[in-house]
Structure 1
Amino acid sequence: MKIGIDKIGFYIPHLYVDMNKLAVSRNVEPEKFTIGIGQEKMAVPPITQDPVTLAANAALEILDEKDKKEIDFVIFGTESGIDSSKSAAVYVHDLLDINPYARAIEVKQACYGTTAGIQMAKGHIALNPESKVLVLGSDIARYGLNTSGEATQGAGAVALVISANPSILELEDQSVYFTTDIMDFWRPIYSDKAFVDGKLSNEQYIAFFSKVWEQYKTKTGLELKDFEAICYHLPYTKMGLKALRTVLDEGTEDVKDRLMENYKISARYNRNVGNIYTGSLYLSFLSLLARKEDLDADSRIGLFSYGSGAVGEFFTGLLQADYREHLHVENHIKLFSARKEITVAEYEEIFQETLPTDGSTIELDIDNDPATICLAGMADNKRQYVNKTK
């Protein structure tokens, strides 16, 4: 039985800041941001968007009424959780009117959470072939103003429907995963901003990719030439490129050229969004499918997932015939083109807008937020969500 990605969508906030202008305001050469880390625009979430609303808006793009009836498991991967007890999946389940006879959980392991959710979903479908699983990856990356990590912030979400006989990508059975305890990136429960050892994190990302790639080749007998493309978790787009370059010498010139070309295509969405943590790998995968129009059916796509702390996994999938018919490319174009550029000063003001932590009631103005699903405020220590279509 084939199991894999049947649908995939994403959502990003309607605001962004230009990285050239951010660099100038920070007295940094713009090329350090646009070339050095490979970012052009950074999505900025208004206070009316949080990980729940971003995920719900991403799923709204792809789910129809049939999906909502057949989904019996919602898995929400995030490292920006809004509650230490109640899962973000429960909120999305309600906002989208999904089948009440369903499981709903939240999964955490830095940027690896969505991948863990997909592998969990795969097992669930194997036992329940008629069901579907909604897997969400949603995050807001916050390091703070004028910090070393500021240029790698971002916000957004991806939504994936995992099912039998998928329309987009069949997930292959063989994968390799690796875990070790390191402190390259973390966010204690008392902080709304992450801490990162940038040099160590970069080194470990490359080291993890090397370990799982070498083990994968040994385990499967496959080589670089067997891949049409390799998509990476992209905290910033130059990071994945560094990893890819470590293996390119294993291929012929034709293989090198193909993988480099497809990598650049896969990084395009991420260059204009920034880091969305658990969703970054899948935004890259979606960018490849949407922007590369001549991928053949049965093309093998490699996916490298990395979550600091750290867990890494390399797994693969085969593109399905007519997969492009199941994408929402026109919606992607509209979502990007409808965004509004804000000044650095406006970005700084939005960044410092936070919800009360003392139980205070607050009402938020959602009229200026074009999203269908928004955070409308807080009352009695409860977030108040609104689906404008309900």
Structure 2
Amino acid sequence: MNIGIDKIGFFTPHLYLDMKDLAEARNVDPNKYLIGIGQSKMAVIPPTQDVVSMAANAADKILTEEDKEQIDMILFATESGVDNSKSGAVYIQRLLGFKKQVRVVELKQACYAATAAIHFAHGHIAMNPDSKVLVIGADNARYGLGTKGEVTQGGGAVAMLISRNPRILSVQDDGTYWADDVMDFWRPLTHDEALVDGKYSTNVYLDFFKHVFEEYQAKTGFDISKFDAMCFHLPYTKEGFKALKIAIENADAEVATKLTREFENVRRYSNQIGNLYTGSLYLGFLSLLENATDLKPGMRIGMYSYGSGAQGEFYSGLLRPGFDKYIEHQAFQKTLDARKRLTVDEYEKIYNSRIKDEKTRKLDISSDPAKFVFAGVEDYQRQYVVR
């Protein structure tokens, strides 16, 4: 049975910070950000958007009423959860008007959880072929003003409809995975911002990739020439390029050139948004679909998923016949180009204005153009508005 990604959508807020402006404010050579990190812009998340509202905006773009009737499971992957008990998925069930005969679960393992959700959905549909599953990866990456990780912040949400006979990608049951308890990145319950050992985390990311890709090749008998593109978790785009260089180290020149060219399409949107945590890998896949010009049905796409702490996995998917009918070339680039550029002072004010541990606070939502917005808290209960 073919099971995989039938639809994919993305949302990020209407604000961004140019990395040249941030470099100037932090007295850093702009090329350290633009070339060394591989980022040109960073999405800025206003206080009127959180992972729930961003997830709702992303899912709303792709779902029909018929889809909602067939969906019987919502899997919400995030490491920026808004409640230690209540799943973000149950907010989505109400905000988007799903039926009540639906399972709602939130999943966590750093940036890996959306991949786990796809595989869980795959198993569910294998047992229930008429079911559809909504998988969402939504996060707000925060490291703190003036920190080393500041340039790798970002945020947004990727929503994917998983079904049998998918129209975009058939997910293959060929994954290899690797886990180890390491402290490369973590966020204690008392912290609003992540703690990270940056160099160590990069080394772990690359080491895990070597493990899972070598095991994948041994398991499947496929070498690098079997892939037409490679997608990676992109905490910053240069990190994915480092993994790609490992993958193509012994490839012939034609294969290496092709995969390097396609990686530029994979990284294009992330370069303008920043880190998405759980959604990062799948934003790269969407970016590949919308920016590559030579993809064809049956092509094999490699997927490297990584979540600090740490879990890694490599698997593949095959592009479905007619997939290009459901993809609009550079569609999301138009949205990115329409965003408002902030000054560093404006960005810092927004960064410091989010709701933390406040019992009651009403937010001004008038300047947020999104359909779904976070309007504040009343007696610690989060309030969402649907326009």
TM-score, normalised via structure 2 length: 0.99
Aligned ranges 1:270-285 → 2 under 5 Å: 270-285=270-285
Letter in 1 for 2:381: K
Aligned ranges 1:367-378 → 2 under 5 Å: 367-378=366-377
- Partner in structure 2 of residue 220 of structure 1: 220
- Partner in structure 2 of residue 118 of structure 1: 118
SS of the residue corresponding to residue 249 of structure 2 reads helix
How far the C-alpha of 1:143 sits from its partner, in A, is: 0.4
For 1:55 and 1:331, the matched residues in 2 are separated by 19
Alignment RMSD? 0.9
Change (3 A) 1:329 1:374: farther
For 1:128 and 1:254, the matched residues in 2 are separated by 42
Q: Deviations over 1:58-95 (max 9, x none)?
A: 00110011111110000000000000000001001111
For 2:238 and 2:29, the matched residues in 1 are separated by 17
Contact 2:248–2:256 (CA<8 Å) still a contact in 1? yes
Q: Which segment is superposed worse, 95-104 or 186-195?
A: 95-104
- Partner in structure 1 of residue 132 of structure 2: 132
Asked if residue 94 in structure 1 is aligned to residue 83 in structure 2, the reply is no
How far the C-alpha of 1:300 sits from its partner, in A, is: 0.1
Contact 2:291–2:330 (CA<8 Å) still a contact in 1? no
Contact 1:270–1:280 (CA<8 Å) still a contact in 2? yes
- The aligned length equals 387
Structure 1 moving runs of 4+ over 6 Å: none
For 1:35 and 1:269, the matched residues in 2 are separated by 16
- Partner in structure 2 of residue 10 of structure 1: 10
Unaligned runs of 5+ in 1: none
Q: Which segment is superposed worse, 346-355 or 328-337?
A: 328-337
Contact 1:87–1:104 (CA<8 Å) still a contact in 2? yes
Aligned ranges 1:171-210 → 2 under 5 Å: 171-210=171-210
Q: Deviations over 1:125-181 (max 9, x none)?
A: 001100100000000000000001000000111000000000000011111011000
How far the C-alpha of 1:328 sits from its partner, in A, is: 4.6
Contact 1:9–1:328 (CA<8 Å) still a contact in 2? no
For 2:182 and 2:356, the matched residues in 1 are separated by 33
Change (3 A) 1:314 1:194: same
Change (3 A) 1:330 1:387: farther
- Partner in structure 1 of residue 303 of structure 2: 303
For 2:354 and 2:99, the matched residues in 1 are separated by 33
Aligned ranges 1:307-322 → 2 under 5 Å: 307-322=307-322
- Partner in structure 2 of residue 57 of structure 1: 57
For 2:178 and 2:221, the matched residues in 1 are separated by 19
For 2:330 and 2:288, the matched residues in 1 are separated by 15
Contact 1:125–1:131 (CA<8 Å) still a contact in 2? yes
How far the C-alpha of 1:232 sits from its partner, in A, is: 0.2
Q: Which segment is superposed worse, 80-89 or 94-103?
A: 94-103
Unaligned runs of 5+ in 2: none
Aligned ranges 1:36-55 → 2 under 5 Å: 36-55=36-55
SS of the residue corresponding to residue 250 of structure 1 reads coil
Contact 2:46–2:354 (CA<8 Å) still a contact in 1? no
For 2:162 and 2:68, the matched residues in 1 are separated by 13
Aligned ranges 1:234-249 → 2 under 5 Å: 234-249=234-249
SS of the residue corresponding to residue 284 of structure 2 reads helix
- Partner in structure 2 of residue 34 of structure 1: 34
How far the C-alpha of 1:329 sits from its partner, in A, is: 4.5
How far the C-alpha of 1:294 sits from its partner, in A, is: 1.9
For 1:77 and 1:14, the matched residues in 2 are separated by 22
How far the C-alpha of 1:327 sits from its partner, in A, is: 2.5
- Partner in structure 2 of residue 385 of structure 1: 384
SS of the residue corresponding to residue 218 of structure 1 reads helix
Contact 1:70–1:99 (CA<8 Å) still a contact in 2? no
How far the C-alpha of 1:362 sits from its partner, in A, is: 1.5
Identity %: 53
Contact 1:266–1:287 (CA<8 Å) still a contact in 2? yes
Q: Deviations over 1:244-280 (max 9, x none)?
A: 1012122111100000000011100000000010000
For 1:336 and 1:324, the matched residues in 2 are separated by 21
Q: Deviations over 1:269-292 (max 9, x none)?
A: 000000010000000010000101
How far the C-alpha of 1:331 sits from its partner, in A, is: 4.5
How far the C-alpha of 1:354 sits from its partner, in A, is: 2.2
For 2:126 and 2:61, the matched residues in 1 are separated by 26
